[in-house]
């Protein structure tokens, strides 16, 4: 998965093609502009207010892609971080924003067998890749799986996103004070039994497929985020949970002060209609399937 997505020459995110929008392979909330940017700016503004508006307040976006948030977040110091540009400052205060970032990190795949988990590796069968069930997973993966996936039944496929935990550690090390705001597709540990075949999927021309080994480098690969693992590991890194909720609820909270008037204000009827459709999609489409996790990092005395 790491090679298929991030190989310097052949990786899906490194080849220079645009994966977003109608002509690409998928949409994210960031393509619903300007409404998403305006509402998110209001949300982040409320977080800045909670921090008493420090002069060096920074919004750093992980997985920024085309930096489509730059216009909507023009009222902040905005730092887009992606595969080939930008990096988090060594020390800063503000918000780290991660929109569908964690679900694109490489994962380990395992299958439950008896009292343990066995590693699934990728082998070659002629000219096609195929899954091969191998021996027990290594100790680090085993600790993750027993802690967050131990409830699955015999034969269930699971993923361990150790890179997500390492990112939490790195963010905590660099973020002196502020928030981590995550938007992603995911589940809690209690909900994992809903996915007996795992959550790893590929996307090509907006069509989802479970055949994640086909066409490496030509399609997006994602695995749902285990929010229990994120929250639990973040707590050990100095974060505290503020709230975990659907994107719809987060956007409703942000738009409540003016009933979305600022996000829907437009210069003409056509643009006004377009913005209302964007808001509808955000609240009742993506908003009901995407989840948000807001974590606070405070300076310990």
Q: What is the 3-state secondary structure (H, E, C) of 143-172?
A: HHHHHHCCCCCCCCEEEECHHHHHHHHHHH
Split at pLDDT 50, 70, 90, the class of 207 is confident
The structural domains of the chain, with segments of one domain joined by +, span 2-103+162-191+213-297, 108-148
Beta pairing, strands 201-204 & 220-222? antiparallel
What predicted TM-score, i.e. pTM, was given to this entire model?
A: 0.93
Do the Cβ atoms of 148 and 86 come closer than 8 Å? no
- Give the residue-averaged pLDDT of 156-172: 98
Q: So what's the pLDDT on residue 85?
A: 80
Q: So what's the pLDDT on residue 30?
A: 81
Split at pLDDT 50, 70, 90, the class of 84 is confident
Instruction: Say if residue 301's pLDDT is above 50.
Output: no
Collapse the DSSP code of 174 into the 3-class scheme (helix H, G, I; strand E, B; otherwise coil) and give the result. Answer: helix
Tell me the DSSP string of 194-210. Answer: G-TT-S-EEEETTEEES
Q: Following CA atoms 48, 50, 51, 57 in sequence, which dihedral angle do they give, to the nearest 10 degrees?
A: 0
Q: So what's the pLDDT on residue 23?
A: 53
CATH entry 3.40.50.720 includes domain 2-103+162-191+213-297: no
Q: Following CA atoms 15, 17, 19, 22 in sequence, which dihedral angle do they give, to the nearest 10 degrees?
A: -170
Q: So what's the pLDDT on residue 192?
A: 94
């Amino acid at each position: 998965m790491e090679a298929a997505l991030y190989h310097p020459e052949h990786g899906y995110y490194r080849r220079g093609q645009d994966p977003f929008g109608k002509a690409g392979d998928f949409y994210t909330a960031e393509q619903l502009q300007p409404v998403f940017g305006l509402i998110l700016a209001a949300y982040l503004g409320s977080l800045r207010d909670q921090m008493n508006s420090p002069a060096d307040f920074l919004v750093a976006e992980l997985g920024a892609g085309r930096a489509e948030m730059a216009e909507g977040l023009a009222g902040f110091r905005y730092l887009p971080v992606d595969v080939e540009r930008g990096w988090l400052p060594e020390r800063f205060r503000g918000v780290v924003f991660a929109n569908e970032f964690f679900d694109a990190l490489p994962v380990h795949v395992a299958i439950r067998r008896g009292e343990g988990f066995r590693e699934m590796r990728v082998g070659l069968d002629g000219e096609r890749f195929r899954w091969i069930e191998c021996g027990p997973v290594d100790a680090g993966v085993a600790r993750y799986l027993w802690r967050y996936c131990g409830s699955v039944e015999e034969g269930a496929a699971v993923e361990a996103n150790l890179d997500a935990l390492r990112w939490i550690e790195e963010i905590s090390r660099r973020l002196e004070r502020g928030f981590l705001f995550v938007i992603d597709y995911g589940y809690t540990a209690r909900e994992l039994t809903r996915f007996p075949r795992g959550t790893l999927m590929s996307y090509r021309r907006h069509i989802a497929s479970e055949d994640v080994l086909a066409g490496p480098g030509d399609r997006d690969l994602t695995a749902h985020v285990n929010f229990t693992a994120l929250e639990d590991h973040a707590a050990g890194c100095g974060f505290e949970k503020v709230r975990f909720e659907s994107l719809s609820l987060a956007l409703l909270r942000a738009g409540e002060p003016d009933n979305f008037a600022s996000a829907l204000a437009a210069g003409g009827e056509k643009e006004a209609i377009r913005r209302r459709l964007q808001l509808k999609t955000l609240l009742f489409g993506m908003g009901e399937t995407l989840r948000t996790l807001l974590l606070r990092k405070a300076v310990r005395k």
